[in-house]
Chain A
């Protein structure tokens, strides 16, 4: 019996139990992670999970069931249970539910991969993390940490509309950080990002990071931060490096344009959105420099796929064009409620979790300037980069973000290093203040995007250049 057979049996069982639509995902995922600290391996874990998750629509009510077994019997049981749960949902019914059309594709898709991450010897991976963290510790880091993570996911998707799609997605990434501890403070510097850089890529991504080449530099910067002046409080011109821009986009654009949030489906937990569908196509989100795309086709970016978990083919579209809000991240059912004609942004964190609207690759299109040009054009401001803390309200408006490091900008030149750099604002006001845009794009990967109940961890991508913003409040502290 093939994985497709199990999925087909599950779908047929749900239909036989009363569903008018059903889909099933059989998934087999292997993951591996290693953590090192101060020259020793702290943890090596290799995990495997496999099962089938079935979604059933009975009338206008949904049910979902997941079982960690791949047999004729388990597929049938999961399908029947999903339909039974959907029937229970109907006791608290909502408006009529529908699905926007999706081409019933028969297809296979694999992410690009030159070096299979799981084929790289553990001894090589371990030596890399041990040597880099030992070097940082020797250079003065109190806590020198290194991590890599690998996910290798096989999916088989079948729907009652005729979809039959298999995908093989390999993701990996790595990062290092140096933390120094002072009197009532810690300072940390990370490379390349505070949680590492990740992509739908093979181990060549980790090779390209060249972690060892940055170990001493970030350690020295962390030590220097202990005695650096604190980021001053006030309102100033803010230049953000591309890593912090990725966080800014993720939190204040990516989640805000999720259609399920806009419709209130996440109101009690993740929250809603300040965006109102009646303003789609007309609302000014940011300055005219702001062009945000939803693009799950970016090769190697962490939010890339061939088909989403509803079987919709990956497609590029604008979310913000010339500063005007024009698009959302949607699923087939939420799009139907909103009167839209596209979906394509639904994914699940494994076979045991319900597919839901998730950020894919939400990125900012580049502008004409280099980072040096933005600094040179700034008379008085601050450059911040590498995220350290992030908090935003449940409508995705009021944010406060902290960065690992900042520098004064005076008369077009970088000045003193600054510690405890924070900035705060209201999303649309902030984006409308963007007055310069960089040219060099990095597709940052976020491997820990939380959403949903039960909780799901999503993998998202954020291609972005650095950018400059005017009149930003900085230096918020206790």
Chain B
């Protein structure tokens, strides 16, 4: 059906403007999210949306349009509106042309139980989480997403794929102390509300009566939930081919910018959650290594940013990328023992390898985090980095706060919960040579607060993190 719609739009374009270059994307999403707070479901939503997006280049000018109005004359109106816009707007001398016909690798199979989950399946997980919190107030969500995408362009490329993701992200609250459990998976069955609720409650209780520490530099163990923030901001502001070309990124290709322990890849076929095998320009995706053993090797491109620097698109186009640049959406920091050439899934538990959340006592998220904690003389265990904002993209200096649990580590033992701290820290500097003292042995797939992205991260032990404020200011 979606292929029919895409073909219909291309036919309408050909009839109206035979020489125009056109690409059509048909997105069909079913997103449902069951949200709870104060231990009851207070918001419970479901939406089903089909969006047709047309990008049209004619006579040297480009315009984009989209609509959810696909019945009646909706598609014709889209074609006419976008065609008119392309005629009237200023020239586009940077137009990179359409993606040529190319084979697209099949996406991993979709789990129908996830894609088409009913509200009862989500509510059951919420109920299990609330019960496992054992009387603590609980809040968070359980979501399911089905996303089908069809692409066709006038250069002969066409592709279709479907993906699905389930996610649970919730806290238990012990007074003013929150503990969190978070997980994404491409199978709803991997989300065990009871295990997640118990983990969140354990962390919350362990965070009671926190002490205030003075600002300063501390060695840290960042749990996977905190590491994901580093991956997101480095994907958006660092490994973004457009920003690199504009010299607004810290990235220098083929330079040893990071600790040799760091290998960073983007892999939609091993996302642990939602991942698609092509982008909105129809370019096939592949596993892409950004950092290989500390050396920067690649950045993400769409066709426009690639053309500017004489490179090829890496399949990271997204709506709005002409302004924001290409952003990787399935970034993984490889766990200890894995390397860039490792087969997909090696070393990572993702959402499909059982739940390491159930294997430990105390506030650490899992046994891999515990192993890193055991190596620390004096430092901090950090669960989340929160409300992080970039002070300067060139250095990726970021300010933000800890959230959902910080603990003091002394002689390899967690000794005290700590009040939240504010940091001001360059992320690449923290990951620089000698800065990474350890990486966890398995990664966790986690949902992103920034839309349809799923990142995978192990825990990180870093030599120094710059805390610039505490609860007193």
A residues contacting B by CB (< 8 A) are: 34-35, 37, 40-51, 53, 61-69, 81, 84-86, 88-95, 121-123, 126-127, 130, 142-143, 147, 179, 181-182, 184-186, 263-269, 352-354, 356, 388-394, 397-398, 400, 402, 420, 422, 424-426, 429, 453-455, 473, 476-478
Contacts and interface: CB of A to CB of B under 8 A. Distances in A.
The 5 closest A-B pairs by CB, nearest first: A94-B40, A88-B119, A122-B88, A43-B322, A268-B139
Interface centre among A94, A268, A390, A397 (most CB of B within 10 A): A268
Given A41-B89, A68-B49, A48 B37 contact: no
B322 A35 contact: yes
B235 interface: no
Contacts of A64: 43-46
Contacts of B422: 391, 393, 398, 400, 424
B130 A92 contact: yes
Contact of B393 (A66, A90, A186): A186
B391 A389 contact: yes
Contact of A44 (B66, B89, B429): B89
A262 to B, nearest CB: 12
A156 to B, nearest CB: 16
B92 A264 contact: no
Contact of B64 (A44, A143, A420, A424): A44
Interface in B172-215: 173, 178, 180
Contacts of B394: 181-182, 184-186
Contact of A352 (B40, B49, B137, B400): B49
7 contacts: A64-B45, A88-B120, A185-B392, A263-B37, A268-B178, A389-B390, A391-B399
A202 B424 CA distance: 41
B401 A62 contact: no
Given A46-B65, A424-B469, A455-B451, A86 B393 contact: no
Interface centre among A45, A64, A179 (most CB of B within 10 A): A45
Nearest to B45: A64
Interface centre among B319, B323, B471 (most CB of A within 10 A): B323
A255 B90 CA distance: 40
Given A89-B44, A400-B424, A478-B397, 19 more contacts: A49-B68, A63-B44, A67-B47, A88-B120, A88-B123, A122-B88, A122-B89, A264-B38, A265-B43, A388-B391, A389-B389, A391-B400, A392-B387, A402-B391, A424-B468, A453-B35, A477-B397, A478-B391, A478-B424
Given A85-B45, A268-B139, A478-B425, A400 B67 contact: no
A179 B248 contact: yes
A391 B31 CA distance: 29
Nearest to A81: B46
Given A44-B62, A46-B65, A92 B127 contact: yes
B210 to A, nearest CB: 14
B130 A267 contact: no
Contact of B387 (A62, A93, A95, A391): A391
B332 interface: no
B140 interface: yes
Interface string B217-230: 00000000000000
Interface stretch (B77-85, B260-268, B334-342, B367-375): B77-85
Contacts of A47: 65-67
A127 B123 contact: no
B89 A123 contact: yes
Interface in B78-115: 78, 81-82, 85, 88-94
Nearest to B46: A65
A45 to B, nearest CB: 4
A46 B35 contact: no
A85 B127 contact: no
Given A49-B67, A49-B69, A476-B468, A398 B420 contact: yes
A321 to B, nearest CB: 26
B88 A61 contact: no
Contacts of A89: 34, 41-42, 44, 119, 123
A85 B389 contact: no
Interface centre among B37, B38, B47, B63 (most CB of A within 10 A): B47
Given A48-B68, A455-B451, A66 B48 contact: yes
B4 interface: no
A350 to B, nearest CB: 10
B71 interface: yes
A46 B319 CA distance: 12
Nearest to A87: B119
B355 interface: no
A426 B473 contact: yes
B2 interface: no
Given A84-B119, A92-B36, A264 B137 contact: yes
Contact of B66 (A45, A65, A69): A45
A476 B421 CA distance: 14
Given A48-B68, A454-B31, A391 B388 contact: yes
A267 B176 CA distance: 11
A389 B43 contact: no
Contact of B469 (A68, A398, A455): A398
Given A41-B89, A43-B323, A400-B469, A143 B391 contact: no
Interface string B382-412: 0000111111111101011101000000000
Contacts of B130: 92
A347 to B, nearest CB: 15
A181 B473 contact: no
Contacts of A51: 49, 68
Contact of B395 (A35, A53, A185, A268): A185
Nearest to B447: A453
A84 B422 CA distance: 43
B173 A267 contact: yes
Contact of A42 (B43, B85, B322, B468): B322
Interface centre among A35, A64, A91, A93 (most CB of B within 10 A): A91
Contacts of A389: 389-391, 399
B169 A48 contact: no
A103 B235 CA distance: 49
Interface in B135-184: 137, 139-141, 143, 169-171, 173, 178, 180
A394 B177 CA distance: 12
Contacts of A35: 322-323
Nearest to A34: B89
Contacts of B141: 268-269, 453
Nearest to B243: A143
Contacts of A478: 391, 395, 397, 424-426, 429, 466
B310 interface: no
B400 A41 contact: no
Nearest to A86: B44
Interface centre among B50, B67, B390 (most CB of A within 10 A): B67
Contacts of B89: 34, 41, 44, 122-123, 126
A394 B40 contact: no
A65 B388 contact: no
B126 interface: yes
Contacts of A266: 37
B93 A40 contact: yes
B45 A354 contact: yes
Interface centre among A91, A94, A391 (most CB of B within 10 A): A391
A390 B47 CA distance: 32
A249 B426 CA distance: 28
Contacts of B471: 397-398
Contacts of A84: 119
A264 B139 contact: yes
Contact of A94 (B41, B50, B88, B424): B41
B449 interface: yes
B64 A91 contact: no
A88 B144 CA distance: 15
A390 B387 CA distance: 8
Contacts of B123: 88-89, 91-92
A14 to B, nearest CB: 13
